[in-house]
Amino acid sequence: MAEERPTVAVIGGDTLVAREIRELLAEGARAPRVQLISAAADGSALLSEQEEEAIVMAPLAAENLEGSRVAFLAGSAASSRRTLKMNPSGGPALIDLSGALEDQPQARLRAPSAEASRPAPSPVQVIAHPAAIAITKLLATLARRAKIRRAIVHVFEPASERGQRGLDELQQQTVAVLSFQKLKRDVFDAQLGFNMLARYGEEAEEALEWIEQRLERHLASLVAGYPDVPMPSIRLIQAPVFHGHSFSVWVEFEENPGVEEIARALSEAGFDVRAEEPPNNVGMAGQSGLSVGSIAEDHNYPRACWLWMVADNIRLAAENAVAVAREWL
């Protein structure tokens, strides 16, 4: 008799990251059953469409969580907090991709692809910011080849980190700028179309500096597992791109191993190293892993090198969330 497939719940079943989670869960011989749950505050069941595919989502209620081994919190911060409050005794482990539960005493920050060791089991698992995961994996790999003195990282944030509403606002602004129309500013409260932002407007839903602080917290927690990796200095910049993180990374070594040795170390660690044409966020859309290129020595600091790295932010977060879920499945 075939073993019954486990059930997982996805709160915010129509979000960008939920779509990636569904695709990843479908891979393999024993794919779990997926219960899609709406993140709507009114608790109603919803019918949504994704790429011409109609999906039905159950309302967010305790009875719809029962029977699931894990629940992915892929919706809003508010829906994550509601899920925690209503999760029944013996209910599913919560895998939070919204970051709303990181202040809970039982929360554990997770990034299986970058963490030095698995933390103790806990019913609340918070997935680290995807940029923190990418930076940690890069620096940990380099530190195994040569001692790092310091590092500086500029992180270029895509609109997709603000969800579908962020994508829609960037699209509307791009069209509006070209046609001299009024700009929609609900998410960023500033012109992002054809622009770079060091900060959002004062009326933005979430300040960019708050996001930067969360990224720093997650990065500090992850690199703490690697004694040879110093905490890098980072700057988060909102870029006018739809998908994919880009990173400009400066690393100073005690003794510079050189461009070829750095490229070899990264390639052996599973990075997609581009020797000729540097990677870009458009080319990485929908792709797994981290891609690095444009590795060059700093002409002013012989012990330092520059690197360019890109990653699909949504895919990276979803892959780490699914890896955590498989610990329960």
For residue 326, tell me if it sits in a domain.
Answer: no
Residues 67-83: pLDDT tens digits?
Answer: 999 999 999 999 999 99
Structural domain containing residue 181:
132-313
Residues 75-133: pLDDT tens digits?
Answer: 999 999 999 999 988 899 999 999 999 999 999 999 999 999 999 889 999 999 999 99
Query: Do 45 and 189 belong together in one domain?
Result: no
Query: Do 83 and 210 belong together in one domain?
Result: no
Query: Do 301 and 183 belong together in one domain?
Result: yes
**Cβ atoms 142, 148 nearer than 8 A:** yes
Residues 180-211: pLDDT tens digits?
Answer: 999 999 999 999 999 999 999 999 999 999 99
Question: Is the confidence at residue 63, as pLDDT, over 70?
Answer: yes
Q: What is the CATH number of the domain that holds 52?
A: 3.40.50.720
User: What whole-number distance in Å separates Cα of residue 328 and Cα of residue 97?
Assistant: 17
Residues 282-321: pLDDT tens digits?
Answer: 999 999 999 999 999 999 999 999 999 999 999 999 999 9
Q: What is the CATH number of the domain that holds 253?
A: 3.30.360.10
Band the pLDDT of 275: cuts 50, 70, 90: confident
**Residues of the chain with pLDDT > 90: what percent?**
88
Residues 156-181: pLDDT tens digits?
Answer: 999 999 999 999 999 999 999 999 99
**Residues of the chain with pLDDT > 70: what percent?**
95
* pLDDT confidence of residue 49: 56
For residue 249, tell me if it sits in a domain.
Answer: yes
| Listed residue (325, 311, 315) closest to 137, CA to CA | 311
Question: Is the confidence at residue 1, as pLDDT, over 50?
Answer: no
> Which residues on adjacent β-strands are paired with residue 273?
292
For residue 274, tell me if it sits in a domain.
Answer: yes
Number of domains composing the chain: 2
Question: Is the confidence at residue 276, as pLDDT, over 90?
Answer: no
Query: Do 23 and 155 belong together in one domain?
Result: no
For residue 227, tell me if it sits in a domain.
Answer: yes
* pLDDT confidence of residue 156: 98
Q: Give all strands (DSSP E) within the chain, no chain letters.
A: 7-11, 33-37, 46-50, 53-57, 70-73, 93-96, 107-110, 124-127, 148-157, 233-238, 245-253, 272-274, 291-297, 304-311
Query: Do 75 and 164 belong together in one domain?
Result: no
Single out the residue in 53, 81, 101 at which a domain terminates. 101
Question: Average model confidence (pLDDT) for the chain?
Answer: 93
Q: Which residue has the tokens 């709160």?
A: 11
For residue 322, tell me if it sits in a domain.
Answer: no
Q: Phi first, then psi: give them for residue 128, nearest 5 degrees.
A: -65, 155
Q: Phi first, then psi: give them for residue 67, nearest 5 degrees.
A: 90, -15
- What letter does residue 240 receive in the DSSP assignment? S
* pLDDT confidence of residue 41: 64
Query: Do 167 and 282 belong together in one domain?
Result: yes
Query: Do 90 and 179 belong together in one domain?
Result: no
Query: Do 63 and 139 belong together in one domain?
Result: no
Query: Do 54 and 94 belong together in one domain?
Result: yes
For residue 198, tell me if it sits in a domain.
Answer: yes
Query: Do 195 and 268 belong together in one domain?
Result: yes
Max CA-CA distance within the chain?
68
For residue 156, tell me if it sits in a domain.
Answer: yes
Give how far Cα 278 sits from Cα of 135, 236, 245, 282, Å: 18, 21, 14, 12
Region 16-22: mean pLDDT is 95
Q: Which residue has the tokens 């892959």?
A: 319
For residue 41, tell me if it sits in a domain.
Answer: yes
Order of strands, edge to edge, in the sheet holding 233-238? 233-238, 148-157, 245-253, 304-311, 291-297, 272-274
* pLDDT confidence of residue 55: 77
Query: Do 284 and 154 belong together in one domain?
Result: yes
Region 234-248: mean pLDDT is 98
Query: Do 136 and 86 belong together in one domain?
Result: no
